[in-house]
Amino acid sequence: MAVVFEKPKALTDATLHYCPGCTHGIIHRLVAEVLDELGVQGKTVGIASVGCSVMSYDYFDVDMVQAAHGRAPAVATGVKRANPENIVFTYQGDGDLAAIGTAETVHSAARGENITIIFVNNAIYGMTGGQMAPTTLPGQVTQTSPYGRDTNTVGFPLKVCELLSNVDGATYLERVAVNNVKNVKAAKKAIKKAFTYQTEGKGFTLIEVLSTCPTNWGLTPPNALKWLEENMIPYYPLGVYKDKYAEEETK
């Protein structure tokens, strides 16, 4: 019988622990498909961060290192500089990357490190029970903002792609989402481009993926997808925020 669908080789057989409707699993699959397609599984090193996706070290069938909270881009820098032939990526949530890890992220971009960051933005701290994150939307209810995020007291969300687009060292920044088939396909394309740029030595690439956390948003899986579309995408517009090589591609 012809095989029409199979698990990417760059994923192990471990059963994912993610909650029903959580889109971390989709993003794992997209990264693994890209590693398969580029034929780089054997020389890839992934950096797991802190958060629900810490377990990614069990799910990606590549060498994995686990970094302390927020330090994944620093660890990735060390791995890549020591072994430039490796393909190195980090997989980080918004609590990890945009709070305690802001400095590592901005400076690895400024240095133009030839690494790829997969930034999973679900607007909340998932693993620790749903506290407000730097990316929590204005008015969004979380465990630590029970009346909704009040921008007068706790300020505004960080828009990571917009922020990094002003950093000269960054090569390619795109924001995607995984809430429907069309967006999943676009997300795969962006992730593939980021890894391809890395294989070509083109420098720092970051793909921000808008993702769901039905458990801590208090929504059913279908309603979480709807919430992402109606609330996150308007605040965090999808698209390419920087691509130093875009002109070259269209030539």
Ligand X SMILES: Cc1ncc(C[n+]2csc(CCOP(=O)(O)OP(=O)(O)O)c2C)c(N)n1
Binding site for ligand X (CB under 6 A): 50-53, 69, 93-96, 120, 122, 124-128, 133, 213
Selected binder of ligand SF4 within 105, 122, 136, 140 (CB under 6 A): 122
Element of type H or E holding 176: strand 170-177
Non-local CB neighbours of 222 within 8 Å, separated by 6+ positions: 21
Residue 59 in contact with ligand SF4, rule: CB under 6 A: no
Q: Are strands 63-66 and 204-210 parallel, antiparallel or unpaired?
A: unpaired
- The 3-state DSSP class for residue 123 equals coil
Question: Least distance in Å: CB of 220 to ligand SF4?
Answer: 12
Q: Candidates 14-22, 84-92, 139-147, 177-185 — which segment interacts with ligand SF4 by CB under 6 A?
A: 14-22
Residue 50 vs 238, nearer CB to ligand X: 50
User: Quick check: 54 and 66 in contact, CB under 8 A?
Assistant: yes
Q: At 93, phi and psi to the nearest 5?
A: -80, 175
Question: Least distance in Å: CB of 61 to ligand X?
Answer: 21
Q: Which does 215 bind (CB under 5 to 8 A by kind): ligand X, ligand SF4, none?
A: ligand SF4
Distance CA 115, CA 166 (A): 18
Q: How many residues does the chain have?
A: 251
Residue 52 in contact with ligand SF4, rule: CB under 6 A: yes
Distance CA 121, CA 176 (A): 10
Question: Least distance in Å: CB of 102 to ligand X?
Answer: 12
Selected binder of ligand SF4 within 18, 57, 197, 241 (CB under 6 A): 18
Distance CA 81, CA 86 (A): 9
- Site map 192..231 versus ligand SF4, x via CB under 6 A: ---------------------xxxx---------------
Q: Which does 76 bind (CB under 5 to 8 A by kind): ligand X, ligand SF4, none?
A: none
End-to-end CA distance of the chain: 42
Question: Least distance in Å: CB of 125 to ligand SF4?
Answer: 9
Residue 80 in contact with ligand SF4, rule: CB under 6 A: no
One-letter identity of residue 92: Q
Question: Least distance in Å: CB of 211 to ligand X?
Answer: 8
Closest CA to 186 of 240, 141, 229, 125: 240
Query: Which residues lie near ligand SF4 (CB under 6 A)?
Result: 18-19, 22, 24, 52, 122, 126-127, 213-216
